[in-house]
Amino acid sequence: MPPALEPMLNEFHEEAAVTKRILERVPADKLTWKPHPRSMSLGQLALHVARIPANLTWLTQLEEFDASQASFDPPAPADIHEIHAALDESIRSAGDYLKGMTEQTAQKSWRLTSKGREVFRKPRIAVVRSIMLNHWYHHRGQLSVYLRLLEVPVPVIYGRSADENPFA
Protein backbone atom coordinates (compact mmCIF):
# COMPACT_ATOMS: atom_id res chain seq x y z
CA MET A 1 0.00 0.00 0.00
CA PRO A 2 1.36 3.43 -0.91
CA PRO A 3 2.19 5.57 2.15
CA ALA A 4 -0.32 8.20 0.98
CA LEU A 5 -3.14 5.66 1.38
CA GLU A 6 -2.39 4.82 5.02
CA PRO A 7 -4.18 7.90 6.42
CA MET A 8 -7.21 7.13 4.24
CA LEU A 9 -7.29 3.53 5.45
CA ASN A 10 -7.03 4.71 9.08
CA GLU A 11 -9.85 7.18 8.48
CA PHE A 12 -11.93 4.45 6.88
CA HIS A 13 -11.58 2.21 9.94
CA GLU A 14 -12.44 5.07 12.34
CA GLU A 15 -15.48 6.01 10.28
CA ALA A 16 -16.56 2.36 10.04
CA ALA A 17 -16.77 2.27 13.84
CA VAL A 18 -18.91 5.43 13.84
CA THR A 19 -21.17 3.99 11.14
CA LYS A 20 -21.57 0.77 13.12
CA ARG A 21 -22.65 2.78 16.20
CA ILE A 22 -25.31 4.58 14.15
CA LEU A 23 -26.61 1.44 12.44
CA GLU A 24 -26.87 -0.30 15.83
CA ARG A 25 -29.44 2.36 16.79
CA VAL A 26 -31.74 1.71 13.82
CA PRO A 27 -35.00 0.37 15.29
CA ALA A 28 -35.93 -2.95 13.65
CA ASP A 29 -39.65 -2.14 13.87
CA LYS A 30 -39.33 1.15 11.92
CA LEU A 31 -37.55 0.01 8.73
CA THR A 32 -40.46 1.10 6.50
CA TRP A 33 -40.77 4.57 8.09
CA LYS A 34 -40.16 7.60 5.83
CA PRO A 35 -39.81 11.25 6.90
CA HIS A 36 -41.30 12.36 3.57
CA PRO A 37 -43.00 10.57 0.65
CA ARG A 38 -40.02 11.22 -1.65
CA SER A 39 -37.47 10.05 0.94
CA MET A 40 -35.95 6.61 1.24
CA SER A 41 -37.37 4.51 4.03
CA LEU A 42 -35.26 4.10 7.15
CA GLY A 43 -34.44 0.55 6.08
CA GLN A 44 -33.45 1.57 2.56
CA LEU A 45 -31.21 4.33 3.86
CA ALA A 46 -29.63 2.12 6.53
CA LEU A 47 -28.90 -0.63 4.00
CA HIS A 48 -27.52 1.93 1.55
CA VAL A 49 -25.20 3.29 4.25
CA ALA A 50 -24.11 -0.25 5.12
CA ARG A 51 -23.34 -1.12 1.49
CA ILE A 52 -21.66 2.07 0.26
CA PRO A 53 -18.05 0.99 0.89
CA ALA A 54 -18.48 -2.41 -0.81
CA ASN A 55 -20.50 -0.99 -3.70
CA LEU A 56 -17.97 1.75 -4.34
CA THR A 57 -15.10 -0.71 -3.99
CA TRP A 58 -16.66 -2.71 -6.80
CA LEU A 59 -17.34 0.42 -8.84
CA THR A 60 -13.84 1.86 -8.56
CA GLN A 61 -12.30 -1.40 -9.72
CA LEU A 62 -13.88 -0.76 -13.12
CA GLU A 63 -12.18 1.51 -15.65
CA GLU A 64 -15.36 3.53 -16.08
CA PHE A 65 -18.99 3.47 -15.10
CA ASP A 66 -22.07 4.59 -17.05
CA ALA A 67 -24.42 6.12 -14.49
CA SER A 68 -27.37 5.81 -16.87
CA GLN A 69 -27.18 2.02 -16.34
CA ALA A 70 -27.49 2.26 -12.56
CA SER A 71 -30.54 1.93 -10.36
CA PHE A 72 -30.61 4.65 -7.74
CA ASP A 73 -33.57 3.13 -5.90
CA PRO A 74 -32.00 1.29 -2.95
CA PRO A 75 -33.67 -2.00 -1.99
CA ALA A 76 -35.42 -2.44 1.32
CA PRO A 77 -33.77 -4.89 3.71
CA ALA A 78 -35.60 -7.99 4.89
CA ASP A 79 -34.65 -7.21 8.48
CA ILE A 80 -32.10 -5.46 10.70
CA HIS A 81 -29.75 -8.45 10.51
CA GLU A 82 -29.35 -7.92 6.77
CA ILE A 83 -28.19 -4.35 7.43
CA HIS A 84 -25.61 -5.41 10.03
CA ALA A 85 -24.31 -8.27 7.85
CA ALA A 86 -24.04 -5.90 4.87
CA LEU A 87 -21.96 -3.46 6.93
CA ASP A 88 -19.60 -6.17 8.13
CA GLU A 89 -19.05 -7.44 4.58
CA SER A 90 -18.73 -3.90 3.26
CA ILE A 91 -16.05 -2.95 5.80
CA ARG A 92 -14.08 -6.11 5.06
CA SER A 93 -14.33 -5.68 1.30
CA ALA A 94 -13.40 -1.99 1.23
CA GLY A 95 -10.61 -2.44 3.79
CA ASP A 96 -9.06 -5.25 1.74
CA TYR A 97 -9.35 -3.16 -1.41
CA LEU A 98 -7.65 -0.14 0.14
CA LYS A 99 -4.89 -2.27 1.71
CA GLY A 100 -4.18 -3.92 -1.63
CA MET A 101 -4.22 -0.77 -3.76
CA THR A 102 -0.93 0.08 -5.44
CA GLU A 103 0.29 3.57 -6.28
CA GLN A 104 -0.26 2.82 -9.96
CA THR A 105 -3.87 1.72 -9.34
CA ALA A 106 -4.51 4.70 -7.06
CA GLN A 107 -3.32 7.22 -9.67
CA LYS A 108 -4.89 5.52 -12.70
CA SER A 109 -7.67 7.50 -14.33
CA TRP A 110 -11.30 6.50 -13.68
CA ARG A 111 -14.26 7.80 -15.71
CA LEU A 112 -17.89 8.43 -14.93
CA THR A 113 -20.08 8.62 -18.00
CA SER A 114 -23.76 8.94 -18.75
CA LYS A 115 -25.12 7.67 -22.05
CA GLY A 116 -21.67 7.88 -23.60
CA ARG A 117 -20.97 11.42 -22.38
CA GLU A 118 -18.10 11.87 -19.94
CA VAL A 119 -19.25 13.40 -16.66
CA PHE A 120 -15.79 13.41 -15.12
CA ARG A 121 -12.39 11.76 -15.17
CA LYS A 122 -10.31 11.60 -11.99
CA PRO A 123 -7.55 9.53 -10.45
CA ARG A 124 -9.11 6.44 -8.86
CA ILE A 125 -7.99 7.54 -5.38
CA ALA A 126 -9.89 10.83 -5.79
CA VAL A 127 -13.02 8.82 -6.63
CA VAL A 128 -12.52 6.71 -3.52
CA ARG A 129 -12.31 9.92 -1.45
CA SER A 130 -15.22 11.76 -3.03
CA ILE A 131 -17.69 9.03 -3.91
CA MET A 132 -16.91 6.32 -1.39
CA LEU A 133 -15.97 8.21 1.76
CA ASN A 134 -17.67 11.59 1.38
CA HIS A 135 -20.82 9.96 -0.03
CA TRP A 136 -20.83 7.55 2.93
CA TYR A 137 -20.56 10.41 5.43
CA HIS A 138 -23.34 12.34 3.69
CA HIS A 139 -25.84 9.49 3.90
CA ARG A 140 -24.75 8.60 7.43
CA GLY A 141 -25.62 12.19 8.38
CA GLN A 142 -29.06 11.72 6.83
CA LEU A 143 -29.47 8.58 8.88
CA SER A 144 -28.67 10.45 12.10
CA VAL A 145 -31.48 12.91 11.26
CA TYR A 146 -33.89 10.01 10.71
CA LEU A 147 -32.95 8.70 14.16
CA ARG A 148 -33.56 12.11 15.73
CA LEU A 149 -36.98 12.37 14.06
CA LEU A 150 -37.86 8.93 15.45
CA GLU A 151 -36.76 10.00 18.98
CA VAL A 152 -33.90 7.47 18.92
CA PRO A 153 -30.86 8.70 20.87
CA VAL A 154 -28.17 9.75 18.40
CA PRO A 155 -24.76 8.30 19.26
CA VAL A 156 -21.50 10.18 19.39
CA ILE A 157 -20.23 10.87 15.89
CA TYR A 158 -17.57 13.60 16.22
CA GLY A 159 -17.65 14.61 19.84
CA ARG A 160 -20.84 14.94 21.81
CA SER A 161 -24.37 14.59 20.48
CA ALA A 162 -27.47 15.95 22.18
CA ASP A 163 -27.88 12.47 23.69
CA GLU A 164 -24.31 11.42 24.56
CA ASN A 165 -21.27 13.26 25.83
CA PRO A 166 -17.99 11.33 25.82
CA PHE A 167 -16.34 14.21 27.71
CA ALA A 168 -18.62 14.12 30.76
Number of domains in the chain: 1
| 123 bridge partner residues | 109
Domain membership of residue 156 (yes or no) is no
Q: State the DSSP H helix or E strand holding residue 118, giving kind and residue range, or none if neither.
A: strand 117-123
83-128: pLDDT as tens digits = 999 999 999 999 999 999 999 999 999 999 999 999 999 999 999 9
pTM (two decimals): 0.93
Domain with 80 in it: 3-149
22-42: pLDDT as tens digits = 999 999 999 999 999 999 999
Cα torsion at 81, 87, 93, 96 (round to 10°)? -130
Domain membership of residue 163 (yes or no) is no
- Indicate if the pLDDT at residue 1 is higher than 80: no
Give the CATH number, domain containing residue 97: 1.20.120.450
